[in-house]
Amino acid sequence: MALSKSLKSATHITSTAAATLLLIQACGGGAWAEAAGDADPLEGVWESVITVKDCSSGAVLASFRGLAVHLRGGTVSADNSRPPATRGAAYGTWKRTAGGAGNAYTATFIFMRFNPDSSLAGTQKVQRSFTLGADGNSLAGSNAIQIIDTAGVVLQQGCATEIGVRTAW
C-alpha cells in the first residue's frame, strides 16, 4: 500500500507540473525561455542629440538631447530636454524595417505639448527612421515631426536628424 501512495503522489506532482507548464505557455510564458537568446540589438537605453532643421533649406533651427528606451516586443518610451513646451514622456512603438538590412529600424511615438501656462497645447508625433551602427552601440537617422493642436489639426511639420549612443541596459 505504501508503494501505491508514493505512486499516487508522484503522479499528482507530475500532473500538477505539466498543468502549470501548459498554463504558463498559454499565458505567453514562452517568452521567459526566449528572453536571453532573442534580444534585439536595439533593446536598451539610448541618448541622442536631435537637430531640428528647416525641411526645405536644411538650416539648423534647434538642437537638444533626448533619451529613448527601446523595450523587448517593440515598445519605446522617450523623454527630451526641451522644456517647457514638451515636458514629459513620449510613448510609441519600434520595429525592424521590413525588407531592409538587419540594422534598419523605424519608430513612431507621441507626446503632449504644453503652453507656457501649463495648459495643454496639443500633441507632437515623431516618425523615426534610423540605422544601428555596426558596433551595436550607436545609431543615426532622420525624424519627421508633426505638431498637432488639441482639435487634431496638424499645425506644423518638421524635419530632424538624430545621432545616438547606447547608455545602459
CB of 92 closer than 8 Å to CB of 105: no
Domain check: are 28 and 63 in the same one? no
Query: Could you report the per-residue pLDDT of 96-139, keeping only the tens digit for each?
Result: 997 666 799 999 999 999 988 889 999 999 999 999 999 999 99
* pLDDT value at residue 79: 76
Q: Check whether residue 67 and residue 126 sit in a common domain.
A: yes
Residue-wise pLDDT tens digits, 65-87 = 988 999 999 999 887 655 555 56
Residues 78 and 152 in one domain: yes
Domain containing residue 149: 44-168
Q: What pLDDT digit, counting tens, does each position of 19-66 carry?
A: 333 333 333 444 444 455 688 999 999 999 999 999 999 999 999 998
Residues 89 and 17 in one domain: no
* In a shared domain, residues 8 and 57: no
Q: Does 84 lie in the same domain as 14?
A: no
Kindly state the average pLDDT of the residues 141-146: 96
At residue 7, the pLDDT reads 40
Domain annotation covers residue 96: yes
Coil vs helix vs strand at 124: strand
User: Are residues 161 and 132 in contact, defined by beta-carbon separation less than 8 angstroms?
Assistant: no
39 belongs to a structural domain: no
Q: Which of 165, 168, 122 is nearest to 145 (CA)?
A: 122
For the chain, how many structural domains are there in total? 2
Q: Which residues contact 108 (CB under 8 A, 6 or more apart)?
A: 92, 93, 94, 125, 126, 127, 128
Grid cell, residue 109, equals 511615438
Tell whether 10 and 78 lie within a shared domain. no
At residue 167's C-alpha, the angle toward residues 164 and 169, to 5°, is 125
- Residue 34, pLDDT score: 45
- 37 Cβ neighbours under 8 A, 6+ residues apart: none
For residues 20 and 165, give the distance between their C-alpha atoms in angstroms, rounded to a whole number: 42
